[in-house]
Amino acid sequence: PVLQLDIITIFGDYFAPLELSLLGKAREQGLLAWRVHDLRDWTHDRHRTVDDTPYGGGAGMVMKPEPWGEALDAVLDAHPDARPTIVVPTPAGEPFRQATAHELAGAGHLIFACGRYEGIDARVLEYARTRAAVREISLGDYVLNGGEVAVLAMVEAIGRLIPGVVGNPESLVEESHAADTDGLLEYPVYTKPASWRGLDVPEILLSGHHAAIAAWRRESSIERTRQRRPDLLGEASEPDPTGE
């Protein structure tokens, strides 16, 4: 496959939806491959314990280092030639962006380590860094119950960038956050009918005038970005007079 994914979690069922739709098809075509591993397979007690109380006190539980160490060793040893990237979802990580998705789509092999409770014993990442590249990545400035939903979102964003996964590659270029549109938000989109419940599609889109349509879309993108995400506006703030 172009991209091999190994996902380590205590809730493998979260990843059943990967089989659906485009990513499922990509897997059938051999573009993408993934394996979901149960962290508890690397425990050795009757209760298959993966957590313990935090040193220093405080609320919540922390994921124990031993099962994580064995899990990472097993997955890394199964791919001795590759130098994979270990992705650790955490609200304390670097923000996940479209550019991050592009970088990870080219990594060849990604290992996702899904935390739960108050997170994973910090020594696990220290150890992991001796064996592979490690990226701690946040889905956004909010707290989820576990890494699984964050990993699902990342895998979907990454997977659709693998050539051949999205049927029409054109649909990747004009999207929100795409580099070729300067990272602007996408313009509003419309389909038939031209008039619906008294609401009309902007006239220009029916004109067949491609340059004018491109200019309108560019301006709409800039206006939307200015209103909703001014932080994304860089050099793109001037409307392009050629409409390209």
Q: Which residues bind ligand SAM (CB under 6 A)?
A: 89-92, 114-116, 118-119, 138-140, 142-147, 150
**What residues does 9 pair with on adjacent strands?**
38
Residues, the chain, total? 244
Instruction: Provide, rounded to whole angstroms, the least separation between the CB of residue 141 and ligand SAM.
Output: 7
Contact in structure between 88 and 136 (CB atoms under 8 Å): yes
Task: Read off the DSSP letter of residue 183.
Answer: T
Binding residues for S-adenosyl-L-methionine: 115, 139-144
The C-alpha angle 88, 92, 94, rounded to 5 degrees, equals 70
C-beta nearest to ligand SAM: residue: 115
Can you point out the beta strands (E) in 59-161?
Answer: 62-63, 85-95, 109-113, 133-138
C-alpha separations of 44 from 6, 47, 53, 62, 171 in Å:
22, 8, 18, 18, 48
CA 161 to chain centre: 10
Q: Which is nearer to ligand SAM, 133 or 206 (CB)?
A: 133
Minimum CB distance to ligand SAM smaller for 119 or for 183: 119
Cβ of residue 18: shortest distance to ligand SAM, in angstroms? 17
Cβ nearer to ligand SAM, comparing 26 with 36: 36
Shortest separation between residue 192's beta carbon and ligand SAM, angstroms: 39
Measured from the CB atom, is 91 or 239 closer to ligand SAM? Answer: 91
Rounded to a whole number of angstroms, the minimum distance from the CB of residue 169 to ligand SAM is 29
Q: Which residues carry a binding-site annotation?
A: 115, 139-144
Q: How far is the CB of 154 from ligand SAM (least distance, A)?
A: 9
Instruction: Report the alpha-carbon distance of residue 52 to residue 119 in Å, rounded.
Output: 11
Shorter beta-carbon distance to ligand SAM: residue 1 or 12: 12
In terms of phi and psi (left: phi > 0; alpha: psi -120 to 50; beta: otherwise), the region of 42 is alpha
